């Protein structure tokens, strides 16, 4: 009897085959996720009324709802009073015997089964209310922050009175100024960054009031000076005014010119401070040449002269030159 033995394929092990299969499965999962990723829809709706007396008939419109990668197939409404409805637009009547706030919820579903919700509160007063409920003050500020001087537009259109009408809009801008009106603008100024509390008080036709506040930030940028001046001067000449005999005191006069000193672009030099190296100093407000006498009783002496310039920012720069006088 003859037996034949054949070696298995040597280049692919069982573990290698398993790893390859796992990689292929992961790749398929990743690709399927990329190909079939679905965006959720966006639920939006408007209401014709947000407050009023019962029975309060309100129209709802969800036409602005949308799905980024598909279409919305159902609109489901929960009116917060036990009633429900469907459709992109519909009407609902709210009734109550006490003051109540109903939360209306819209749920939309897209063609892939994705869902999203949006809510809005509706305040309903019992029939026969005569304006005894206070109004609600609300307003927006645009912008609510910025650099001084800052002009802000205020809008109190969101204020409302559930059982009447608002007759007065009174503003306190928190900086000593006041104003009136449903919409108004005001300019804020400050010398340092300041948070200002703006207060709106509304009064309804029954004399009741409501108040709310908002903070406006008026900023003053901190300017950090970075461009420094440059100090420079030349020793024009050194003259002998009096030459003494050996052992006596001679007098010399040196002339200095600071015209090469410069301020950074956009800035100006305000002060030129001289230190002549012999204990004497001088302050100038221009770049005019200066003369200074030196007295010498020895054979020679070297003085270290320093010029410091200062610009309108208060920034400084200094430079030195040696002046040698000889008998």
Interacting residues of 21 by C-beta distance below 8 A, sequence separation 6+: none
Q: What is the pLDDT of residues 54-110, one digit of tens each?
A: 888 999 999 999 998 999 999 999 999 999 999 999 999 999 888 889 999 999 999
pLDDT band at 249 (very low <50, low <70, confident <90, very high): confident
With 80 as the cut, is the pLDDT of residue 48 above it? yes
Instruction: Answer yes or no: same fold for 46-125 and 234-326.
Output: yes
Interacting residues of 121 by C-beta distance below 8 A, sequence separation 6+: 50, 101, 102, 103, 104
Q: What is the mean pLDDT of residues 258-284?
A: 94
264 φ/ψ angles, rounded to the nearest 5 degrees? -65, 155
CA distance 212 to 202: 9
- Average pLDDT, rounded, for the chain: 87
> So what's the pLDDT on residue 322?
92
With 50 as the cut, is the pLDDT of residue 9 above it? no
Can you name the CATH fold of 140-219?
Answer: Immunoglobulin-like (2.60.40)
Contact by Cβ (8 Å): 265, 313: no
> So what's the pLDDT on residue 320?
94
The residues spanned by each domain of the chain are: 46-125, 140-219, 234-326
Highest mean pLDDT among 4-13, 20-29, 47-56: 47-56
Q: Which helix (H) or strand (E) holds 40?
A: none
Can you name the CATH fold of 234-326?
Answer: Immunoglobulin-like (2.60.40)
> In the chain, count of helices (H) and strands (E)?
1, 23
Can you name the CATH fold of 46-125?
Answer: Immunoglobulin-like (2.60.40)
> Which class for 66: exposed (0-12), middle (13-18), buried (19 or more C-beta within 10 A)?
middle
The tokens describing 103, both together, are 């939360």
Q: Flag whether the pTM goes above 0.75.
A: no
Q: Pick from 258, 266, 254, 255: which is nearest to 285 by CA?
A: 258
Q: What is the pLDDT of residues 188-240, one digit of tens each?
A: 999 999 999 999 999 988 788 999 999 999 999 876 666 889 999 999 999 98
CA distances to 160, 202, 239 from 168, rounded to whole Å, are: 11, 6, 85
Contact by Cβ (8 Å): 47, 60: yes
Q: What is the mean pLDDT of residues 255-274?
A: 94
CA angle 257, 261, 266 (to 5 degrees): 145
Q: What is the pLDDT of residues 56-72, one digit of tens each?
A: 899 999 999 999 899 99
Sign for the pseudo-dihedral over CA of 137, 142, 148, 149: negative
> So what's the pLDDT on residue 294?
92
> So what's the pLDDT on residue 297?
83
Largest CA distance in the chain: 141
How is 185-234 classified by DSSP, letter by letter? Answer: EEEE--SS-EEEEEEEEEEETTS-EEEEEEEEEEE----------B---E
> So what's the pLDDT on residue 205?
84
> So what's the pLDDT on residue 13?
66
């Amino acid at each position: 009897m003859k037996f034949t033995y054949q070696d298995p394929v040597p280049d692919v092990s069982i573990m290698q085959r398993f790893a390859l299969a796992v990689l292929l499965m992961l790749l398929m999962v990743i690709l399927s996720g990329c190909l079939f990723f679905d965006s959720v829809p966006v639920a939006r709706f408007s209401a014709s009324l947000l407050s009023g007396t019962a029975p309060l008939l309100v129209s709802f419109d969800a036409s602005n709802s949308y799905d980024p990668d598909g279409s919305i197939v159902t609109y489901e409404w929960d009116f917060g009073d036990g009633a429900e409805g469907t459709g992109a637009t519909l009407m609902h009547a709210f009734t109550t015997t006490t003051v109540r706030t109903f939360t209306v919820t819209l749920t939309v579903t897209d063609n892939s089964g994705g869902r999203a919700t949006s809510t809005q509160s509706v305040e309903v007063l019992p029939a026969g209310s005569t304006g005894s409920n206070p109004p609600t003050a609300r307003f927006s500020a645009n912008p609510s922050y910025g650099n001084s001087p800052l002009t802000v537009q205020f809008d109190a259109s969101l204020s409302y009175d559930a059982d009447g009408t608002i007759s007065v809009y009174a503003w306190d801008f928190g900086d000593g100024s006041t104003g009136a009106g449903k919409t108004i603008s005001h300019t804020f100024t400050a010398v340092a960054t300041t948070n200002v509390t703006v207060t709106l008080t509304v009064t309804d036709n029954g004399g009741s009031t409501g108040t709310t506040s908002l903070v406006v930030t008026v900023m003053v940028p901190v300017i950090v000076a970075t461009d420094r001046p440059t100090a420079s001067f030349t020793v024009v000449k050194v003259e002998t005014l009096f030459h003494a005999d050996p052992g006596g005191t001679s007098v010399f006069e040196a002339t200095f010119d600071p015209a090469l000193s410069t301020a950074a672009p956009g800035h100006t030099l305000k002060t030129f401070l001289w230190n002549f190296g012999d204990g004497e100093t001088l302050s100038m407000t221009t770049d005019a040449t200066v003369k200074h006498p030196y007295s010498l009783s020895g054979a020679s002496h070297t003085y270290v002269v320093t010029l410091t310039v200062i610009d309108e920012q208060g920034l400084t720069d200094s430079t030195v030159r040696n002046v040698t006088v000889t008998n």
